[in-house]
Structure 1
């Protein structure tokens, strides 16, 4: 009788291990899907901000003084030395 109990215990432990592995794999897959969704949302947000701010590009911004400078003209694309 004790050998039957040992077999049952072994089977239950194996089943428990399989269930844990299945749940862990499901969690990993779910995590990967969430990671992919977050990355996509961040990329979409960056693209929207890039399009929105494309018309408004500053040449210099002094954060300490909250001053922004925008210079129009040929010097924008030319190398200043």
Structure 2
């Protein structure tokens, strides 16, 4: 059994890696600073997610993986076709 927290961490990781680097490149931040910003944002999001009580509930592996894959696909498709 997994927790919803783990699924949310994976989804937030996909969101940060998909949306943050292009934005930081547009405003002209260097490669190393982009990496540092991504690390800091992911660390802060993981900390916040660990404090949310609802996400501590168990979920089956099948439902967790299906949720993660579906949300990841939706986020990347939205980013490629709508936000760019």
- In the superposition, the TM-score normalised over structure 2's length comes to 0.33
- In the superposition, the TM-score normalised over structure 1's length comes to 0.34
| Rg larger for | 1
Q: Which has the higher helix share?
A: 2
User: Higher RCO, 1 or 2 (CA under 8 Å, sep at least 6)?
Assistant: 2
